[in-house]
Amino acid sequence: MDELLPYRHKSGIGEKLNLTKFPNDVSWNGSIIYLDRDGVINKGSENYINSRDEFVLLPDVAKSLARLRKSGFRTCLVTNQSPINRGYWSHKTLEEIHEKMIEELSNLNVNAVIDLILYSPYSPEENSISRKPGTGMLRAGNIILNSSELGINLPSNFDSLDEALLFEEGSMSAMVGDRYVDYQAGKSHGVRTFMVNPNSGLSEVINRILDKNDKGDVLH
């Protein structure tokens, strides 16, 4: 499987990330919630979300993100976006879609913040570790968020997603998705994994995520 690093919203993958402070002087609890996008944050489509106009948030997702933030979780969006390398549309189109997502979440709840947005533009034929079920986006999220929290520079060899670069995951870290590839990515990365109905999304499992005794779903 090829490295082919993930891309980052409006930033180079190795650029410094300025994290937004938690509300009410909350401190980071050490855990990251990795979020698929379509079917978790917004309504998905079999024909992809192709423009800002097609992007529609799922119910209570802003409230759920705010609850994560108030509980000290960092959040990382990890979304497969193969239409880019399939030639359907550009990185700029995806940037516009994600800008709408950020704006709408903020308008609904000032604490509905996604700390890091990563995406994989690769088609299945490119066999990239950054395309789920590969763990590349989760590994990159782990490295970027932990380095940023600790106030240290990203590793100079961050052209690799080698496991040796990873920080230990917090005990309540989790992956949330609606497809089996999300489940595979979360399990391979070693975090709790929660599957949702794509018509409900994040709000369906928010109470479970916040329950330290909930070990996530087990699929066969």
Q: Which SS3 state, helix, strand or coil, does residue 148 take?
A: helix
d(CA 132, CA 129) in angstroms, rounded, equals 7
Q: Give bridge partners of residue 33 from the DSSP assignment.
A: 75, 174
d(CA 140, CA 57) in angstroms, rounded, equals 25
Annotated active-site residue in 25, 36, 182, 217: 36
Token readout for 203 is 């709000």
CB of 114 closer than 8 Å to CB of 215: no
Annotated active-site residue in 2, 25, 38, 115: 38
Distances from the Cα of 174 to the Cα of 123, 160, 214, angstroms: 25, 23, 11
The answer to whether 115 is a known catalytic residue is no
Which of 130, 124, 134, 166 lies closest to 13 in space, CA to CA?
A: 130
Token readout for 62 is 């802003």
The answer to whether 2 is a known catalytic residue is no
Q: Give bridge partners of residue 57 from the DSSP assignment.
A: 42
Length of the chain in residues, anyone?
220
Distances from the Cα of 51 to the Cα of 12, 89, 99, 179, 202, angstroms: 23, 9, 11, 22, 22
Query: Which residue numbers are catalytic?
Result: 36, 38
